[in-house]
Amino acid sequence: MDSRLDIRVDIVRQASPELVDAFGRLLPQLSSTAKPLDGEAVERMVTCDANTVLVARVSGTVVGTLTLVLLPLPSGVRARVEDVIVDAEARGRGVAALLTQEALRIAREAGARTVDLTSRPDRPAANRLYERLGFRPRNSTVYRVPLDG
């Protein structure tokens, strides 16, 4: 892939076979335990009022995705970036930065005061990117309870 990519970032509002295929190709690059998404799952995700699903395209092909979650809570509008995935062949060329910058713009316009995200320590390039974009580590404990077994 050319290092000078013409990247276009769009909001996705409806599921399509192209999007289902893109998630099928991209999700395993994020998590080996992610379950494949069918058309119904993609439709639920992109039509959920809390979600803004962004895709990055190069020459019409989806090479990255990001989901911005906006929640109106008693403490104010909260924003969270989830599942930033860039195709291995497109990494290091600004795709994740453009997706994240667009998510930050949308969150700001929605009235969010902050945007949270998590990133594993074993992803140093991603963590450097997030810090370059203004994210700072937060002193917090993340709790999780598995509900599927």
Instruction: Flag whether 139 is in a domain.
Output: no
> For 74-83, what is each residue's pLDDT tens digit?
999 999 999 9
- DSSP states of 24-65 as a string? HHHHHHH-TTPPPP-HHHHHHHHH-TTEEEEEEEETTEEEEE
For residue 148, being part of any structural domain is answered with: no
Count of domains in the chain? Answer: 1
- Letter string b/e over residues 111-130, b meaning 16 or more CB atoms within 10 A of that residue's CB: ebeebebebeeeeeebeebb
Q: In terms of residue numbers, what domain contains 103?
A: 7-11+50-132
- In tens, the pLDDT along 20-64 reads 999 999 999 998 888 889 999 999 999 999 999 999 999 999 999
User: What pLDDT score does 55 carry?
Assistant: 98
**143 CB burial (10 A radius; 0-12, 13-18, 19+):** exposed
In a domain, 33, yes or no: no
User: Could you tell me the CATH number of the domain that includes residue 58?
Assistant: 3.40.630.30
Indicate whether 54 belongs to any domain. Answer: yes
In a domain, 82, yes or no: yes
pLDDT of 2 above 70: no
pLDDT in the model for residue 85: 96
2: in domain = no
Look at residue 68 and give its three-state secondary structure: strand
Q: Does residue 116 carry a pLDDT above 80? A: yes
Q: Average pLDDT in the 61-78 region?
A: 96
